Every structure is written in C-alpha cells, then in structure tokens.
Amino acid sequence: MSIRGEHHLACSERIIQLMHKVLDGDATTDEEDKLMKHIETCERCRKHYEELQTSTSLLGQLPHPNPSLGFTDSVRMRLPSNRKPLVGGWFTRHPVIVAAAIFMILMSGYIFSTWNDNSFQATVDGKGHIAYRGNTVIVPKDEVINGDLIVQNGKVKIEGKVKGDVVLINSQSLQASAGHVTGDIEQINKLVSWVWYHIKHFFQIIF
C-alpha cells in the first residue's frame, strides 16, 4: 500500500464521521465547507460521499403504495364488539378475588343449608355398627368403630369404643370418657364453629 493510500485511511475515519453529520443535518456551515473542500481533492472520499447520497436518495424515491381498498373495512370487521363495561374489566383483572368470592358464596350456601337442617342424623366415617334408640345413638358394648362418628341433632351413648373422633353437632354425649374415644370429642353448637368445621373438613379432603 502506498503512502498516499495510508494517508487516505487516516483521513477517512474522521471524514466519514463528518459525512454522516452532514447527512443528519447536524453539521455547522464550517464543517460542511470542510467536507466539501476535502472531497474536491480526495477522490475516494468524494466517491464515498456520493454513494451515501445516492443510496439515501434511492430510499426516498420508493413509492408509498396504499393498502388494499377494503383495508379499513377489514379492520372494522375484526374489532372486538362493544368494549367491556367497567365491571367486566374489573372482574377480568382480578380473577383470584372473583374465584374466591364465588367459592365463598357456594360454600356458605352449602354450610347454611346443612345447619338449618334440624333433623337427627348419625354417620360413621369408617367401619363399625351403631344402634339407635329414639334420637340416641348407641355404640354397643364390645363394638369398635374404626373411624369417626358424626352425630347431628341427637344424643350419643358410647359403651364400646371409637377409634377416631366423635363430632357432636347440636348434640350431646351421655357417656363418653377418654377410655372410650381414642380421638377428639368435638362439640359444635354454634354456627361459627359449624362453618369452621366444614372449612377444615373441606381442606382435609383437598390436601
């Protein structure tokens, strides 16, 4: 490479920066003059500048065609019909709260309906036999209940054994000592504890 060529490389970096400054419209009149003077004498820089000008002017000469004639109608057809009302927007923005609220409504409906049901009922959640005498549930002597005993609106008399919990809902126990029941004796006489029992039970089922 000749000395002349090296000189060009050295000048070109600065001059090329200047070219872009001029093309951006950021150059002062002095800077513009400096570029013009340089490219009068430097063949390679003049060519470079002309090529930049040509390519940008070619870009500027590309046509600006319109989209298809049916463009606006096509967009209109695809617009979502009626924007959502404010409440709808709120519901979709807070899905967890909405789900929790729906759950609470359904759950409480179920719990209240069972609370208002005043009929006598006794269930064994497990294995074992129970006897009845009127509204009294009897776990006979020598009988072992493997599970929970749930009594609603009645009385319970445990002569045998319950290997689990005894849940008394609006009910009372006539005879139950630690020796007869291995689990807890749970007494539910208030609505609040009734609700709590159901919620607890519900989550035990899920998890």
Partner 1 sequence: MEEDINRLIKKIKKGDHLAFAEVVDMYKNGVYNICLRMVGNRQEAEDLSQEAFIRAYTKIDKYDVERKFSTWLYRIATNLSIDYLRKKKPSVYLDADLPGTEDFTLKSQLADGEPLPEESIVNSETQALIQQEINQLPLKYRSAIVLKYIQDMNLKEISEILNIPVGTVKTRIHRGREALRKRLRHVNKG
Least Cβ distance, residue 17 to partner 1 (angstroms): 8
Among 138, 186, 179, residue whose Cα is nearest residue 165:
186
Least Cβ distance, residue 14 to partner 1 (angstroms): 14
Smaller CB separation from partner 1, 8 or 163: 8
Q: Which of 82, 116, 119, 177 binds partner 1 (CB under 8 A)?
A: 82
For residue 56, give the amino acid letter: T
Q: Tokens 């090529």 sit at which residue? A: 51
- Kindly indicate which of the ranges 1-9, 35-43, 70-78, 92-100 contains the residues binding partner 1, using the contact rule CB under 8 A: 70-78
- Kindly indicate which of the ranges 63-71, 120-128, 150-158, 176-184 contains the residues binding partner 1, using the contact rule CB under 8 A: 63-71
Q: Tokens 């789900």 sit at which residue? A: 99
Q: Which of 9, 43, 74, 129 binds partner 1 (CB under 8 A)?
A: 74
Q: How many CA atoms are closer than 13 Å to the CA of 44, on its beta-carbon side?
A: 12
Sign, Cα dihedral of 93, 94, 96, 100: negative
Least Cβ distance, residue 22 to partner 1 (angstroms): 12
Report the alpha-carbon distance of residue 145 to residue 164 in Å, rounded.
8
CA 146 to chain centre: 42
44 part of the interface to partner 1, by CB under 8 A: no
142 part of the interface to partner 1, by CB under 8 A: no
